[in-house]
């Protein structure tokens, strides 16, 4: 057994673990990184990157068949599903060197390609290595949750970990789960020529603002999506090419392929956390506001910490942990400035409180400013007028923003900065956006917030008239 003594041990080389490793090594720490599977984790290999690449293929196919409004003849796209998957893997391969073993070794990180298992509070076994660390960061991420639905174990099905290896285009893809993963893959496959049915036990996009979600769902339905909501899967039967999902209310749906997209579970089974005195919850590893576990030497970040499950959250956690573990600076996690987006077309994005939640918390003090994409000149020029932005405001300060529309995932970033820094609507109103851009909706919604206060103000009008009388 080879023994290693290190300043910082990171278990898991997904986006969070890699960010900690790169930052800590460049700051002078002795860093050891464990990864028993693929460098880059879920995001690079099975999640964010391949899903957006497949959506891009679908977008190109869709544009070919909807070019007439731009003065270009429509053409029926000839989709090569296997070639689209080649595109996906080319994108992964292009990004992979940034997350590679070789790059991190060049940064000075000791990379061990083994899974880690705790022996005690400060020691982890990984293959033939026994590693003792002053601080440990658990960044093992999450995996697809596959619920114990009767019959599921007897039929072939996909998850996000297998879907991107599928080379045969599904004739009819059944998707159980109407969250971001399910809905993104629904539109991608619709646009690549598949029939798609989404089966959702509650409401599709259930965490998002219902008004904004409806904008996206209406577009998806117009593109041919069959959506079954309040449809809890009770049993699954059939065989390859002929799979049936039967719901508790008696509805049933039959398709050629099945994708399970009902949620995620934390990757903790291999860690032997009990030996390290690390407690868990149903959502993942128990952490305090500074991301420390019940073992004060150890932190947990990203999906495995049981909070918001987004790549950018893992990156945010990484920055906090570097400050705490390396510099002993106090840190506190916040979530009110964390945005998320679903990359359908139109996109759906959120930061802070939805309107419903804001009304629960703030009551009559809440004001809601709105502006539609149909009033944005760039959206009109690009024929991307479906959508709106809603800003929830309390005493001049935004507490939440919901956006449905073209480039919503890009537009929401400004509002994360605004909320993170405690800025007010007046600061957004003071910005100047280049014309014509989709980003103008940010300034215009701030204008919509102030317009009634200015233009419907009798006292202001009286003051203006007085000033005009005295002007030479």
Report pLDDT digits (tens) over 293-328: 999 999 999 999 999 999 999 999 999 999 999 999
How many C-beta neighbours within 10 Å does residue 454 have?
10
Q: How far apart are alpha carbons 113 and 127 in whole angstroms?
A: 9
Beta-carbon-side half-sphere exposure of residue 97 (alpha carbons within 13 Å): 2
- Residue 277 belongs to some domain of the structure: yes
277 in the same domain as 140: yes
- Residue 75 belongs to some domain of the structure: no
Q: How far apart are alpha carbons 308 and 314 in whole angstroms?
A: 9
Beta-carbon-side half-sphere exposure of residue 79 (alpha carbons within 13 Å): 27
- Residue 57 belongs to some domain of the structure: no
234 in the same domain as 128: no
Q: How far apart are alpha carbons 202 and 18 in whole angstroms?
A: 36
Query: Has 263 been labeled as part of a binding site?
Result: yes
Give me the sheet containing 242-247, strands edge to edge. Answer: 233-239, 242-247, 252-255
Give the single-character DSSP code of 197: E
Domain that holds residue 224: 152-262
Query: Has 179 been labeled as part of a binding site?
Result: yes
322 in the same domain as 380: no
Query: Has 180 been labeled as part of a binding site?
Result: yes
- Residue 53 belongs to some domain of the structure: no
Q: Please, what is the angle between helix 48-64 and helix 81-95, to 10°?
A: 140
Contact 141, 37 (CB under 8 A): no
How many C-beta neighbours within 10 Å does residue 302 have?
36
Beta-bridged to residue 173, according to DSSP, are 196, 257
434 in the same domain as 361: yes
Query: Has 352 been labeled as part of a binding site?
Result: no
Q: What is the CA radius of gyration of the chain?
A: 25
Contact 25, 109 (CB under 8 A): yes
Q: How far apart are alpha carbons 274 and 301 in whole angstroms?
A: 18
Query: Has 127 been labeled as part of a binding site?
Result: no
106 in the same domain as 12: yes
Tokens of 221: 């339905």
Query: Has 178 been labeled as part of a binding site?
Result: yes
* C-alpha torsion sign, points 7, 13, 14, 19: positive
Going by C-alpha positions, the residue among 3, 5, 4, 8 that lies closest to residue 298 is 8
| Per-residue model confidence as pLDDT tens digits over 329-370 | 999 999 999 999 999 999 999 999 999 999 999 999 999 999
Contact 246, 235 (CB under 8 A): yes
Element holding 32 (H helix, E strand): strand 31-34
Task: For Cα atoms 144, 149, 151, give the angle at the middle one, nearest 5 degrees.
Answer: 115
258 in the same domain as 274: no
Answer with the one of 278, 300, 327 that is the final residue of a domain. 327
Beta-bridged to residue 4, according to DSSP, are 131
Task: For Cα atoms 245, 251, 257, give the angle at the middle one, nearest 5 degrees.
Answer: 25
Query: Has 301 been labeled as part of a binding site?
Result: no
Element holding 349 (H helix, E strand): strand 347-352
Query: Has 307 been labeled as part of a binding site?
Result: no
304 in the same domain as 195: no
Q: How far apart are alpha carbons 366 and 90 in whole angstroms?
A: 47
Query: Has 184 been labeled as part of a binding site?
Result: yes
Averages of pLDDT over each 10 residues, the chain, 472 residues: 96 98 97 97 96 98 95 94 98 97 98 98 97 98 96 97 97 98 98 98 97 98 98 97 97 98 96 98 96 98 95 96 96 96 98 98 97 98 98 98 98 98 98 97 96 77 79 78
Query: Has 183 been labeled as part of a binding site?
Result: yes
User: What is the number of residues in the chain?
Assistant: 472
Q: What is the pLDDT of residue 162?
A: 97
Q: Which residue has the tokens 């880690």?
A: 116
**Backbone φ and ψ of 5, nearest 5°:** -115, 125
Answer with the one of 274, 294, 327 that is the final residue of a domain. 327
Query: Has 141 been labeled as part of a binding site?
Result: yes
140 in the same domain as 27: yes
Contact 32, 12 (CB under 8 A): no
- Residue 54 belongs to some domain of the structure: no
Distance of CA 407 to the CA centre of its chain: 14
Domain count, the chain: 3
Q: How far apart are alpha carbons 384 and 223 in whole angstroms?
A: 15
Q: Is the peptide bond before 346 cis (omega within 30 degrees of 0)?
A: yes
- Residue 428 belongs to some domain of the structure: yes
Say whether pTM exceeds 0.85.
yes
Tokens of 346: 């139109």
10 in the same domain as 112: yes
Question: Which CATH number do you get for residue 364?
Answer: 3.30.390.30
- Residue 469 belongs to some domain of the structure: no
Query: Has 441 been labeled as part of a binding site?
Result: no
295 in the same domain as 227: no
What are 308-311's contacts with CB under 8 Å, separation 24+?
A: 308/335, 308/338, 308/340, 309/142, 309/264, 310/338, 310/340, 311/15, 311/43, 311/47, 311/48
- Residue 90 belongs to some domain of the structure: no
170 in the same domain as 131: no
Q: How far apart are alpha carbons 412 and 427 in whole angstroms?
A: 16
Answer with the one of 327, 350, 381 that is the final residue of a domain. 327
Helix runs in 8-47, H state only = 15-26, 41-45
Question: Which CATH number do you get for residue 132?
Answer: 3.50.50.60
Q: How far apart are alpha carbons 319 and 316 in whole angstroms?
A: 5
217 in the same domain as 286: no
């Amino acid at each position: 057994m080879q023994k290693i003594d290190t300043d910082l041990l990171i278990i898991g080389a997904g986006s969070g673990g890699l960010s900690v490793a790169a930052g800590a090594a460049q700051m002078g720490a002795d860093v050891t990184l464990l990864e028993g599977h693929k460098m880059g984790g879920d995001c690079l290999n099975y999640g964010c990157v391949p899903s957006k690449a497949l959506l891009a293929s679908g977008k190109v196919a869709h544009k070919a068949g909807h070019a007439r409004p731009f003065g270009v003849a429509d053409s029926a796209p000839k989709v090569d599903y296997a070639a689209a998957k080649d595109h996906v893997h080319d994108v992964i391969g292009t990004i992979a060197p940034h997350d590679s073993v070789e790059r991190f070794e060049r940064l000075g990180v000791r990379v061990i390609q083994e899974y880690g298992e705790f022996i005690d509070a400060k020691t982890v076994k990984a293959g033939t290595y026994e590693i003792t660390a002053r601080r440990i960061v658990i960044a093992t991420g999450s995996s697809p949750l596959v619920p114990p639905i009767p019959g599921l174990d007897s039929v072939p099905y996909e998850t996000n970990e297998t879907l991107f290896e599928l080379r045969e285009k599904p004739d009819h893809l059944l998707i159980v789960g109407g969250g971001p993963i399910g809905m993104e893959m629904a539109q991608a496959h619709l646009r690549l020529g598949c029939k798609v049915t989404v089966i959702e036990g509650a409401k599709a996009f259930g965490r998002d603002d219902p008004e904004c979600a409806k904008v996206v769902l209406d577009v998806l339905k117009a593109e041919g999506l069959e959506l079954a909501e309040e449809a809890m899967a009770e049993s699954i039967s059939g065989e390859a090419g002929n799979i049936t999902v039967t719901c508790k209310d008696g509805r049933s749906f039959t398709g050629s392929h099945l994708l399970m997209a009902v949620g995620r579970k934390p990757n903790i089974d291999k860690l032997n956390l009990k030996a390290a005195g690390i407690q868990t919850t149903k959502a993942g590893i128990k952490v305090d506001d500074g991301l420390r576990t019940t073992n004060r030497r150890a932190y947990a970040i990203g999906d495995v910490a049981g909070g918001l499950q987004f790549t950018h959250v893992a990156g945010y956690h990484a920055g906090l942990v570097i400050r705490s573990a390396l510099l002993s600076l106090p840190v506190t996690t916040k979530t009110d400035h964390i945005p998320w987006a679903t990359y359908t077309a139109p996109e759906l994005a959120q930061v802070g409180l939805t309107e419903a939640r804001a009304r629960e918390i703030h009551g009559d003090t809440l004001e809601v400013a709105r502006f539609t994409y149909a009033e944005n000149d760039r959206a009109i020029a690009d024929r991307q007028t479906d959508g709106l932005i809603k800003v929830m405001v309390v005493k001049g300060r935004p507490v939440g923003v919901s956006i449905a529309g073209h480039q919503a995932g890009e537009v929401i970033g400004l509002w994360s900065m605004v909320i993170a820094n405690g800025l007010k609507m007046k600061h957004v109103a003071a910005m100047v956006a280049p014309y014509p851009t989709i980003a103008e909706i940010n300034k215009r919604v701030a204008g919509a917030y102030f317009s009634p206060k200015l233009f419907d103000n009798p006292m202001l009008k009286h003051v203006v008239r007085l000033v005009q009388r005295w002007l030479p």
